[in-house]
């Protein structure tokens, strides 16, 4: 998926092998390489925890583009594009999917599960206390109740 404000990129995943007998012992997922040009050079990397059934946002990052990868659990990112259309991107920790939200684009993260979700976030502009880079907003015409019915919210 690629809309001006949103990009979903399938990430490269490689099997890893044991050094003694060569059996598969896991996998490696590439999130950022300087030559991929998927992500502008990250200036901040952090883990965002979302409690079960909670919603973070919606808010707008005025200056930074953020990239999200679900490390644990499930997440739904609800994004409102410049035409006021909503896009819902669902993912979980078993999918190697990187979701980017461009600066100036309002978004919210929902944890529809019964466990804490952990999301790796890479940003092209670092957050500083009191920099007023983030602005809270509302999605008054969005149906949040559908997640309550389908999930646990």
Q: Identify the CATH number of the domain in which residue 107 sits.
A: 2.60.120.10
Question: Residue 132 contacts by C-beta under 8 Å, 6 or more apart in sequence?
Answer: none
pLDDT at residue 14 in the model: 93
Which domain, by its residues, includes 97? Answer: 2-139
Residue 45 located in a structural domain? yes
Asked whether residue 132 is domain-assigned, the answer is yes
Count of the separate structural domains present in the chain: 1
pLDDT digits (tens, 9 = 90+) for 87-138: 999 999 999 899 999 999 999 999 999 999 999 999 999 988 889 899 999 9
* Contact of 88 with 76, CB cutoff 8 Å: yes
Confidence class of residue 150 from pLDDT cuts 50, 70 and 90?
low
Position 149 confidence tier, pLDDT thresholds 50, 70, 90: low
- The reply to whether 147 falls in a domain is no
Can you tell me which residue has the tokens 């880079």? Answer: 133
pLDDT for res 65: 94
Element (H, E) at 134: strand 134-136
Q: Which positions ≥6 away from 42 have C-beta within 8 Å?
A: 32, 67, 122, 123, 124
pLDDT tens, residue by residue, 13-49: 999 998 999 999 989 988 888 888 788 788 999 999 9
């Amino acid at each position: 998926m690629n809309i001006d404000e949103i990009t979903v990129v399938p990430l490269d995943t490689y099997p890893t092998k044991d050094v003694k007998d060569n059996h598969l012992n896991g996998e490696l997922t590439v999130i950022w390489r300087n030559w991929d040009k998927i992500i502008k050079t990250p200036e901040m990397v952090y883990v965002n925890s979302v409690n079960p059934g909670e919603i973070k946002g919606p808010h707008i990052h005025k200056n930074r583009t953020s990239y999200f990868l679900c490390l644990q659990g499930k997440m739904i990112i609800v994004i409102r594009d410049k035409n006021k259309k909503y896009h819902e991107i669902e993912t979980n920790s078993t999918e190697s999917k990187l979701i980017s939200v461009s600066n100036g684009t309002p978004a919210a993260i929902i944890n529809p599960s019964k466990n804490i979700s952990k999301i790796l976030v890479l940003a092209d502009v670092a957050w500083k206390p009191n920099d007023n880079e983030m602005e809270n907003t509302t999605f008054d015409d969005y149906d949040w109740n559908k997640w309550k019915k389908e999930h646990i919210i």
